[in-house]
Amino acid sequence: MLSIKTTSLFFELTCIYLRAMKTTDKKIELKGFTLAELQDYCISIGEPKFRASQLFNWIYNHICFDFNEMQNLSKELRGKLDDNCNLRTLNLVTTQNSHSTGTKKFLFETHDKHKIESVLIPEKERSTLCISTQVGCPLDCKFCATGLMGYKRNLTAGEVVDQYLLTAKENGKEKITNIVYMGMGEPLLNFTTTLKSAEIFTHELTKGLSRTRITVSTSGIPHKIKELADSGLRVKLAFSLHSAFEDFRSKIMPINKKYSLKENVEALKYYSQKTKTRITFEYTMLKDLNDTDDDVKAITKLCAKFPSKINVIPFNSIKHMNPGGISAELEPTPYDEILRFVDKLRSNNITVMVRETQGDDIAAACGQLAVKMK
Ligand code: SAH
Ligand code: SF4
């Protein structure tokens, strides 16, 4: 009979063996590979380069999650890919529909049990998917539910692309025409992933999504804005302004203490010149705090620096998070006041759009995305 000591040693050795198996068993996450990366991978396993375009087509256009369905690949290659690679990064847990606007919120789970959200906003002539780049966000903006929930980790390129692929599959015939990086997290703090996913979305082989329909939104990381401009990707850039005054911006967006508005304005000018695009300023309206005549003047001055437009967003309540500090004091500017503010900006020759609140009945509106952290 084995002694207790020998049994526990045996148990421990078994655990070590199983852990080692798991490490060697780790599959390559092919989802999120760009065409160039797929080409490198094909060459590394002794396959011709053109296989990469076939894989690209199956993964991103046919939205195929099973190598065995890739009919123009040999049985042997399909088996090899199946043994070594993985095509599913997220599981769709639930979807929620907003009855008032038709907005849909998708809750996904990652392999390490984190929850993230994407939001699909159907409109008359387009259907916009709002995707996340991080689990939570480290930047702690005082008006944002994601900021209040804290930060866990960056998402992988596969996890970002899968939000689109799983939603597109779920959505069936209703085609997604626009992708905005405005879900959970700061895309420019997950720069490589943002770049890789945007490259996949805008690639000429990715049918159905054209390069003008991708928008990256940032709270302002100037050197990354410049790097994005130099990347050659022609995505639209939105900048979360919320105040044209350094002091107040720092109060509601702590990142402004590290990267001032002044530095960001210089980077945005660079982006606009280099990409020949107009920058969108996002402006969430907070009652008595950023909706005064002085704000109109400061925004007007700012908009004169490079081609831009303003996207005014009614403040979406974050009361469901029970916030403290300044967050608890924030109130939305009443709608008629918003319209008066917009009129004043327009009379200064500024292009202004007012974004309609979408899906606040299911906490899917801008800045309302937050899920419980483990
Ligand atoms: N981190 C990026 C993108 C995600 S946030 C960024 O900050 O730009 C997407 C947009 O929602 C940003 O413009 C953000 O400022 C805005 N937002 C955040 N919380 C909001 C709220 N409670 N009401 C309205 N808009 C909000
Ligand atoms: Fe992060 Fe953007 Fe929310 Fe600020 S607004 S906390 S940057 S997700």
- Per-residue pLDDT tens over the stretch 47-76: 999 999 999 999 999 999 999 999 999 999
- Dist CA 39 CA 57 (whole Å): 13
Q: What's residue 24's pLDDT?
A: 42
Per-residue pLDDT band at 209 (split at 50, 70, 90): confident
Q: Is residue 366 among the annotated active site residues? A: yes
- Dist CA 113 CA 111 (whole Å): 5
Q: Report the predicted TM-score, pTM, of the whole model to 2 decimal places.
A: 0.91
Which ligand neighbours the alpha carbon of 240 most closely? Answer: 1
Contact 112, 128 (CB under 8 A): no
* Number of alpha carbons in the 13 Å side-chain half-sphere of residue 126: 12
Catalytic residue, chosen from 29, 47, 117, 186, is: 117
Span of 144-153, 205-214, 356-365 with lowest mean pLDDT? 356-365
State which of 179, 286, 311, 313 you would mutate to test the pocket of ligand 1, scoring each by most atoms of that ligand within 8 A of its C-beta.
313
- Dist CA 66 CA 125 (whole Å): 33
Fold equal for 4-86 and 90-362: no
- Domain range list for the chain: 4-86, 90-362
Q: What's residue 368's pLDDT?
A: 66
- Percent of the chain clearing pLDDT 70 (strictly above): 87
Q: What's residue 85's pLDDT?
A: 96
Q: Which CATH number fits domain 90-362: 3.20.20.70, 3.30.70.260, 1.20.1070.10, 3.30.590.20?
A: 3.20.20.70
228 against 99, higher pLDDT: 228
Q: Is residue 109 among the annotated active site residues? A: no
Region 76-89: what's the mean pLDDT? 95
Q: What's residue 123's pLDDT?
A: 86
> What is the rounded average pLDDT for all residues in the chain?
89
Which ligand neighbours the alpha carbon of 181 most closely? Answer: 1
Residue 185 Cα: closest atom of ligand 2: 8
Q: What's residue 322's pLDDT?
A: 84
Q: Reply yes or no on whether the pLDDT at 20 is more than 90.
A: no
Q: Does domain 4-86 have CATH number 1.10.150.530?
A: yes
Q: Reply yes or no on whether the pLDDT at 174 is more than 80.
A: no
313-336: b or e for each residue (b if 16 or more CB lie within 10 Å)?
A: bbbbbbeebebeeebeebebbeee
State which of 137, 189, 282, 353 you would mutate to test the pocket of ligand 1, scoring each by most atoms of that ligand within 8 A of its C-beta.
282
Per-residue pLDDT band at 374 (split at 50, 70, 90): very low
